[in-house]
Amino acid sequence: MAVEAELKARVGDPETVRARLRERAEEQVQTYRDRYFDWPSGSLDGQGYEVRVRVVETATTTTTVLTFKEPPVHDSGSKPEHETTLADAEPVAALLAMLGLVERIAFEKHCRNFRFTEHGRDMLATLVHVPELDDTFLEVETVVPDKTGVATGLDAVRAVLDSLGITSDDITAEKYTDAVAARRS
């Protein structure tokens, strides 16, 4: 089972980080419209699972992705993730509802993605702004074959963060879903 070895950080100077990332890769600007589903009791989230339907929009394309994340396999929050592309979000949302899941929260993320190879690994760095939150975030991830590779993958992720001027004090484990829910309440 593939695992995303990932860290997320708050970014104090997004434009400097963006400029450094543009030196590594072409910038892909995307908007994510995320909908998270759970049992009415919240037990999926409570156990660390996530079911998400995401619509990804660029200036010229729209793609829909269904994601199922298993509980974290590492203190960093890195999780096994299963994804598939969908033709349309609504039939899957209807199926989830018929199975008893409810839409727990929905929000959008404005993303600038950068794909590059560093330290012998394919990396994805994403600058994220959620309009409802005050901060800009940076997510850096690499996919490892299973949980035994997470520590090594995270070493490479930390090296990328270090090269971008992101320190361990900037790292956060707060989930966007929790932050948006707290802001709305």
**Which residues, 6+ apart, have CB-to-CB distance to 70 below 8 Å?**
1, 48, 49, 79, 80, 81, 82
pLDDT digit string, tens, across residues 95-140? 999 999 999 999 999 999 999 999 899 999 999 999 999 999 999 9
- Tell me how far apart the alpha carbons of residues 154 and 57 are, in angstroms, rounded to a whole number: 29
- Tell me how far apart the alpha carbons of residues 138 and 127 are, in angstroms, rounded to a whole number: 5
pLDDT digit string, tens, across residues 54-109? 999 999 999 999 999 999 999 999 999 999 999 999 999 999 999 999 999 999 99
Phi, psi of 12, deg, nearest 5:
-80, -30
CA 140 from centroid of its chain's CA atoms: 9
In this structure, are residues 89 and 55 in contact, taking their beta carbons and an 8 Å threshold? yes
Average pLDDT, the chain: 96
- Tell me how far apart the alpha carbons of residues 129 and 16 are, in angstroms, rounded to a whole number: 15
Topology given in CATH for the domain delimited by 3-184: Hypothetical Protein Pfu-838710-001 (2.40.320)
The full set of domain ranges for the chain reads 3-184
pLDDT score, position 26: 97
Q: Where are any strands of DSSP class E within 87-158? A: 102-118, 121-129, 136-144
CA 122 from centroid of its chain's CA atoms: 16
- Find the mean pLDDT for residues 6-34: 97
Residue 167 has pLDDT above 90, yes or no: yes
- pTM of the predicted protein model: 0.94
Residue 1 has pLDDT above 80, yes or no: no
pLDDT band (50, 70, 90) for residue 144: very high
Bridge partner residues of 35 (DSSP) = 53, 106
